[in-house]
Amino acid sequence: MVAPVELLPARLEEVVFRLSGRQGEQMKALPFGPELISTVGIISGGAARDVAQAVDEGLDLFITGEPLHSIYHHCLESRIHVIFAGHYQSESFGVRLLGERLARETGLDTTYVDVPTGL
């Protein structure tokens, strides 16, 4: 998924602010990429190792859920930003939107049960 065009290019701080504002959680970031971000890759949950694919694709920013200490130097040397949005936060967003869409399109009653773990 690529961020909407109207949001890019942007600085890392702007992207973190926009994501944190929507999710209500503080995000962690590795600020190693270019000053202005034009390309973004996103994989929810625990996909930190997939930063290698983002590097191969020449992306400026990779967003995922859980951090991994072992990718730090690869990101630094590859000059890519990484945002760790939290495993729960990065996966619950889509589930909540899916429930809203099902309710809207099918008339089903849906309830999103939010049980954040802080991880």
pLDDT per position as a tens digit, 47-76: 999 999 999 999 999 999 999 999 999 999
CATH number of the structural domain 5-88: 3.40.1390.30
Mean residue pLDDT of the chain comes to 89
Question: Does pLDDT of 7 surpass 80?
Answer: no
The kind and range of the H/E element at 30 are strand 28-30
Which residues partner with 40 through β-bridges? Answer: 61
Write phi, then psi, for 61 (nearest 5 degrees).
Answer: -145, 140
Q: For the whole model, what pTM was predicted? A: 0.81
Phi/psi zone of residue 51: left (φ > 0), alpha (ψ -120 to 50 degrees), beta? alpha
Domain residue spans of the chain = 5-88
Residue 23 pLDDT greater than 90, yes or no:
no
The percentage of residues in the chain with a pLDDT greater than 70, rounded to a whole number, is 91
pLDDT at 21: 59
